């Protein structure tokens, strides 16, 4: 197995773990954590492809990963702000109980 | 305190590369799994930081120093702290009585397993075609900086606008709406 | 002779390593360097604690420790033995694993910062190309340790102290980064050895330290404020405000774990002073060109101890801030001034050599500070102190 395949497998596993968590947990914050894990797995893929790709000096994969880290930080801030705001409104972060569109 | 002895010691590999890889992989996946199955939400957040640290080590192992340190700074220093703050502000550290998994957990697990099966099949199927070990690219921070303000200046500006918008948006969303309070 | 005195530790390390077979030398030199750091700074910690207790005593008109050894010099050793032999109490409802991990993580991350600090000519453990980024990454990780300590203790004072500490550290981390960015802009590198080399020139016998430029001075003041807040030192020591929170996030720690927190606080103080020295005060370079023959490490550690003295002096002088004052100070005063400083540094960079840039940059900064002070004065927020009860 080439090193790149190893990294891709780990990234795929991490992505699936994050997906499973995002789909099965009740707590909205943990769903966000799952999404963060999926984003991070994608970053690992980007860096691994940059490292073992034909043109590492072009820095494409690395730049993509750095921008992705920045976007993920913004996503986490807004997502957690939303969770806090929902908790203030509905007094719960349990996603199974947030089943009404009415305020 | 010798000059640069550390980098030369690690560069040639004190340990075989594969062992380091398996150790970091075990750490990362264990952290990720723990963050998704543990009952206590704060424990989940702490396990998440283990996964983040493992990923940063992966980046360092892949010679992406800048990305690795940025990962630690942003994820462990900021996102993990944000998560624990949110957990404490929403009283999320108390374990709910009716289980931590949602009613449709079986379907979710099946979907995730299917995704992993497809991804794994695709990777293993194309593994022989993937490029083998290549010499480590020598990338300096200066090159990254030049690229950021040269070829990637437009994405950089967009990210700057996005981060500003996210900052203002998060503050407005999480702010108290009641009248009379600041 | 002078050169070998300057390089004495480097030569000593080479001599030690040469006893080993060639394949072990790389790893062995790293181990020796790390061991040196792990020995030197706790020793310095003992000295600093003694200095602090004596110095504070002087400022408060009392004697300070004077029972153990001459002038109380052996007091740190007695304290160490005491904390080692004390019972280690873990609250019944505490989260034992996290409670145990928190002090360990704190000390480890505090020590990691020293890896990239150049403590003398050729005396750096790892000369990373992104050294400054590594330092800040490690500094950011200490916040998590503080949170773990406060949350795992299951005590309202611990939790409140931890939340205060984390909020404060996150806010001032932004300031710390932004005030350091000007140095990176000027030196054109994130590597701390290159930053020191860029300051190691002399004109008419005076060094080119960054503190002797308008943007450098403004940046250094911001950095000093942020560093004080980041290490939870007075006047920013709300997380441990004993009048409201007992001892903050380490209320429920005793014995050796408490000693670890104490050590972590001082080590963080040393490392942040070392970084400030490296960024603004020329690191290991001598203050005058005729003093360059004095070994470089003496200069680094003298500047370090001078910063520690300023920390102690501030603790003896300034009263503690309130939480809202602390946050307003960070986001409404220090942060805008840091952003302004970035612009001034850019102006400085593009005006080229000459006296004009000194005038323009100093004028911008002075005007901004004067306008800020005048505006606050007019709004009646800052003025002569008025006493309500103690007249």
Q: Which residues contact B154 (CB under 8 A, 6 or more apart)?
A: none
Q: Do A23 and B101 touch (CB under 8 A)?
A: no
Return the pLDDT at B98. Answer: 66
Q: Is residue C357 part of a domain?
A: no
- DSSP-assigned states of every residue in C177-199: HHHHHHHHHHHT-S-HHHHHHHH
Q: Which residue out of B44, B49, B52, B90 would a mutagenesis test of the A interface target, given it has the greatest number of A Cβ atoms within 10 Å?
A: B90
Average of per-residue pLDDT across C162-189: 88
- Going by pLDDT thresholds of 50, 70 and 90, the confidence category of residue C293 is confident
Contact by Cβ (8 Å): A10, B25: yes
Alpha helices (H) along A25-100: 28-52, 60-90
Q: Which long-range contacts link B7-10 to residues 24+ away (Cβ below 8 Å)?
A: B7/C126, B7/C127, B7/C128, B8/C26, B9/C26, B9/C27, B9/C29, B9/C30
* Residue B84 near residue C147, CB atoms below 8 Å: yes
Q: Where are the beta strands (DSSP E) in C210-341?
A: none
| Confidence (pLDDT) at A38 | 92
The reply to whether residue B108 touches residue A73, judged by beta carbons under 8 angstroms, is no
> Do A76 and B83 make contact, defined as CB atoms within 8 angstroms?
yes
Q: What is the DSSP code string of A54-66?
A: S-GGG-HHHHHHH
Whether residue C391 has pLDDT greater than 90: no
**Cβ neighbours of B134 (radius 10 Å):** 13
Q: Does C363 fall in a domain? A: no
**B77 at C interface, C-beta within 8 A:** yes
**Domain tally, chain C:** 1
Q: Do B6 and C151 touch (CB under 8 A)?
A: no
- Give the Cβ contact number of residue C300 at 10 Å: 25
Q: Which CATH class is domain A3-97?
A: mainly alpha
Stretch C57-77: mean pLDDT, rounded?
Answer: 85
Contact C27, B9 (CB under 8 A): yes
Element (H, E) at C207: strand C206-207
Closest Cα to residue C169, out of C148, C144, C149, C190? C144
pLDDT over 70 for what percent of chain C? 96
Tokens of C333: 């005063």
Q: Is the pLDDT of residue C205 over 90?
A: no
Is the Cβ of C217 closer than 8 Å to some Cβ of chain B? no
Domain B10-96: give its CATH code.
Answer: 1.20.120.1200
CB C205 within 8 A of CB C290: yes
Q: Where are the domains of chain B?
A: 10-96, 139-182
Q: Write out chain C residues lying below 8 Å of B66, CB-based.
A: 130, 133
Which chain B residues have a beta carbon less than 8 Å from that of A77?
A: 82, 166-167, 170
The verdict on B16 touching A (C-beta cutoff 8 Å) is: no
Please report whether residue C223 resides in a domain.
yes
- Contact criterion met (CB < 8 Å) for B2 and C127: no
Blockwise average pLDDT, block size 10, chain B, 182 residues: 39 53 89 86 89 91 87 89 86 66 80 89 81 75 86 91 89 68 42
Q: Any idea where the domains of chain A sit in the sequence?
A: 3-97
Confidence of residue A43 (pLDDT cuts 50, 70, 90): very high
Would you place residue C383 in the very low, low, confident or very high pLDDT band (cuts 50, 70, 90)? Answer: low
Rounded to 10 deg, the angle between the C75-85 and C22-59 helix axes is: 110
Answer whether B90 sits within 8 Å of A83, measured CB to CB. yes
Domain extent at residue C139 = 44-323
Q: In A, which residues are within 8 Å of B32 by CB distance?
A: 14, 17-18, 37
From chain C, pick out residues whose CB is under 8 angstroms from the CB of B142.
188-189
Distances (CA, A) of C127 to A11, C114, C123, C324: 30, 11, 9, 40
Confidence check: pLDDT of C17 > 90: no
C43-52, C162-171, C230-239: lowest mean pLDDT where? C230-239
User: What's the average model confidence in pLDDT over A33-50?
Assistant: 90
């Amino acid at each position: 197995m080439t090193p790149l395949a190893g990294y891709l497998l780990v990234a795929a596993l991490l992505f699936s773990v994050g997906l499973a968590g995002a789909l099965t947990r009740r707590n909205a914050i943990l769903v966000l954590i799952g999404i963060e894990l999926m984003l991070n797995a994608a970053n690992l893929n980007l860096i691994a492809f940059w490292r073992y790709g034909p043109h590492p000096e072009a820095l494409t994969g690395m730049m993509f990963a750095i921008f992705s880290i920045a976007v993920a930080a913004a996503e986490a801030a807004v997502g957690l702000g939303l969770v806090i705001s929902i908790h203030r409104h509905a007094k719960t972060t349990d996603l199974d109980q947030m089943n009404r569109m009415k305020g | 305190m010798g000059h640069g002895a550390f980098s030369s010691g690690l560069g040639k590999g004190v340990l075989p590369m594969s062992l380091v890889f398996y150790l970091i992989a075990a750490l990362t996946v264990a952290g990720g799994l723990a963050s998704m199955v543990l009952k206590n939400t704060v424990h989940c957040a702490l396990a998440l930081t283990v996964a983040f640290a493992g990923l940063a080590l992966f980046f360092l192992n892949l010679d992406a120093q800048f990305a690795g340190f940025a990962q630690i700074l942003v994820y462990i220093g900021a996102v993990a702290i944000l998560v624990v703050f949110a957990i404490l502000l929403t009283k999320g550290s108390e374990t709910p009585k009716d289980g931590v998994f949602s009613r449709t957990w079986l379907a979710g697990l099946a979907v995730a397993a299917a995704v992993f099966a497809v991804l794994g099949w695709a990777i293993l199927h194309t593994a022989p075609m993937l490029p083998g070990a290549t010499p480590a690219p020598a990338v300096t921070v200066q090159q990254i900086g030049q690229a950021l303000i040269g070829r990637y200046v437009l994405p950089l500006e967009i990210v700057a606008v996005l981060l500003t918008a996210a900052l203002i948006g998060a503050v407005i969303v999480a702010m108290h709406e009641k009248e009379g309070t600041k | 002779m002078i050169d070998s005195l300057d390089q004495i530790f480097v030569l000593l390390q080479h001599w030690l390593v040469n006893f080993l077979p060639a394949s072990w030398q790389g790893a062995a030199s790293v181990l020796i360097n790390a061991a040196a750091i792990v020995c030197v700074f706790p020793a310095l910690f003992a000295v600093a604690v003694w200095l602090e207790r004596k110095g504070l005593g002087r400022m408060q008109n009392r004697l300070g420790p004077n029972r153990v050894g001459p002038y109380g010099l052996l007091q740190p050793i007695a304290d160490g033995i005491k904390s080692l032999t004390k019972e280690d109490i873990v609250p019944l409802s505490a989260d034992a694993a996290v409670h145990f991990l928190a002090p360990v993580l704190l000390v480890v991350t505090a020590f990691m910062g020293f890896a990239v600090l150049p403590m003398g000519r050729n005396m750096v453990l790892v000369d990373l190309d992104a050294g400054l980024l590594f330092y800040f990454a490690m500094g950011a990780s200490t916040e998590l340790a503080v949170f773990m300590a406060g949350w795992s203790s299951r005590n309202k004072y611990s939790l409140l102290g931890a939340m205060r500490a984390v909020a404060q550290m996150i806010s001032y981390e932004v300031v710390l980064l932004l005030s350091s960015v000007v140095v990176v802009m000027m030196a054109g590198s994130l590597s701390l050895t290159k930053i020191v080399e860029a300051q190691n020139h002399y004109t008419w016998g005076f060094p080119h330290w960054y503190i002797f430029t308008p943007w450098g001075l403004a940046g250094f003041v911001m950095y000093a404020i942020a560093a004080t807040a980041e290490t939870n030192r007075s006047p920013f020591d709300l997380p441990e405000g004993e009048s409201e929170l007992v001892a903050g996030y380490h209320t429920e720690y005793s014995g050796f774990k408490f000693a670890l927190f104490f050590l972590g606080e001082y080590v963080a103080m040393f490392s942040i002073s070392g970084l400030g020295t490296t960024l603004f005060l020329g690191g290991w370079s001598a203050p005058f060109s005729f003093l360059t023959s004095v070994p470089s490490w003496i200069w680094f550690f003298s500047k370090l101890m001078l910063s520690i003295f300023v920390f102690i002096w501030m603790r003896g002088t300034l009263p503690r801030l309130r939480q809202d004052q602390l946050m307003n100070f960070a986001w409404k005063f220090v942060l805008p001034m840091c952003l302004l400083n970035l612009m001034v540094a850019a102006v400085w960079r593009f005006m080229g050599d000459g006296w004009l840039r000194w005038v323009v940059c100093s004028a911008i900064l002075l005007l901004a500070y004067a306008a800020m002070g005048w505006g606050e004065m007019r709004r009646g927020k800052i003025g002569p102190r008025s006493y309500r009860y103690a007249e």
